Structure 1
Amino acid sequence: MAVHGDGPDRDHQRPEGVDDTTVEALGSLSKALETTERARGHLYSFHQLTGSADLELDRAVGLLRRAGHDDWADRVQREIVGRNVIPGHWTFQIVEAYDTSYYEPFRHLERQALADLLDGRDHVYEAEMKEARRTIGHPDHTARPDDPRSDR
């Protein structure tokens, strides 16, 4: 895809000799990693929400005791407070395993692919998409943040 003279900065331009399919493939790889980033965020939400729920159980146990329901307070304390969410795991261990087993290798591979096939340039696919969709000369469609027309 051709870029206009005032197009993306060098870090967002495809290196010479790189074909459309390679740019599209690496854009897809990066999109998959971005989706994984979102999944990882949900995993951290799961971790924090589960931890908050476990801490709230302390309040429930106390209130059950105050209401005279010691048997129920004991049962909640014994069966649920501090319980593993899956055998042998609290949520922090799930997050750590996800990071080590999946997220970090994926992130490393994506960085290596960009380094090897696009000279380390990131978001080339998106920069080309932006270039194809923007209105050249319009002050709200500048190619780069450093364009003086962006300072309105």
Structure 2
Amino acid sequence: MQEHPDGPDRQHRRPDGVDDKTVEALGALSKALETTERARGRLYDFHQMTGTADFQLEHAADLLAEAGHPEWAEKIRAEIIGRNVIPGHWTFQIVERYDDTYYRPFRELETACTQELAQGRRHLYEAELKEARRTPGHPAHVAGPPLPEE
């Protein structure tokens, strides 16, 4: 396999006419989307952990009934198991609303902005940061992954 020439591949090179401020702005937009991706992951953690807790609670209720405390078991089943986490919503509904009303529109906007202002070339800010920080010629600082043999 041959290596990339000394510099980023075409998809990570700034198109002609794109200025420093635009590259910086697109980098900030990308970073904000990445933060949103992390928040979305935590929302999915919340969704899955709440569901897991509900099943664990059911197990606790079963054990309480077996231990001779059916009134507590029934109270748990009636009051908490299957309860909405906010009025009218289980966690899957919160996740769906977040995806539909915030995450998807944000992702679509970021993609459209990058397409219009940088010909769809993503991570230009990071690619230029890599170029500024790598040591040319050092085997652990190559510009990109090896290219397939032709």
Q: Residue 123 of structure 1 aligns with which residue?
A: 123
In the TM superposition, 1:52-63 aligns within 5 A as: 52-63=52-63
In the TM superposition, 1:100-139 aligns within 5 A as: 100-139=100-139
Q: Residue 95 of structure 1 aligns with which residue?
A: 95
TM (norm. structure 1) is 0.92
TM (norm. structure 2) is 0.94
Structure 1 residue 147 displacement after superposition: 6.2
Give the whole-Å Cα distance in 2 for the aligned partners of 1:51 and 1:38: 20
Give the whole-Å Cα distance in 1 for the aligned partners of 2:72 and 2:9: 65
Q: Residue 7 of structure 1 aligns with which residue?
A: 7
Paired residues in the alignment total 144
Structure with more contact order per residue of length (Cα contacts < 8 Å, sep ≥ 6): 2
Give the whole-Å Cα distance in 2 for the aligned partners of 1:136 and 1:66: 69
Go from structure 1 to structure 2 and tell me whether the alpha carbon gap of 1:132 and 1:147 turns closer, same or farther (over 3 Å shift): farther
Give the whole-Å Cα distance in 2 for the aligned partners of 1:147 and 1:94: 43
Structure 1 residue 58 displacement after superposition: 1.4
Q: Residue 29 of structure 2 aligns with which residue?
A: 29
Give the whole-Å Cα distance in 1 for the aligned partners of 2:28 and 2:106: 13
Q: 2:10 is aligned with what amino acid?
A: R
Give the whole-Å Cα distance in 2 for the aligned partners of 1:38 and 1:136: 33
Q: After the TM superposition, which segments of 4 or more aligned residues of structure 1 sit over 4 Å from their partners?
A: none
Give the whole-Å Cα distance in 1 for the aligned partners of 2:32 and 2:146: 29
In the TM superposition, 1:34-73 aligns within 5 A as: 34-73=34-73
Structure 1 residue 6 displacement after superposition: 1.3
Q: 1:105 is aligned with what amino acid?
A: P
Structure 1 residue 116 displacement after superposition: 0.1
Q: Residue 82 of structure 1 aligns with which residue?
A: 82
Instruction: Say what the alpha-carbon RMSD is for the aligned residues.
Output: 1.2
Q: 1:38 is aligned with what amino acid?
A: R
Q: 2:80 is aligned with what amino acid?
A: I
Partner secondary structure for residue 17 of structure 1: coil
Give the whole-Å Cα distance in 1 for the aligned partners of 2:136 and 2:62: 66
Structure 1 residue 72 displacement after superposition: 0.5
Structure 1 residue 146 displacement after superposition: 1.8
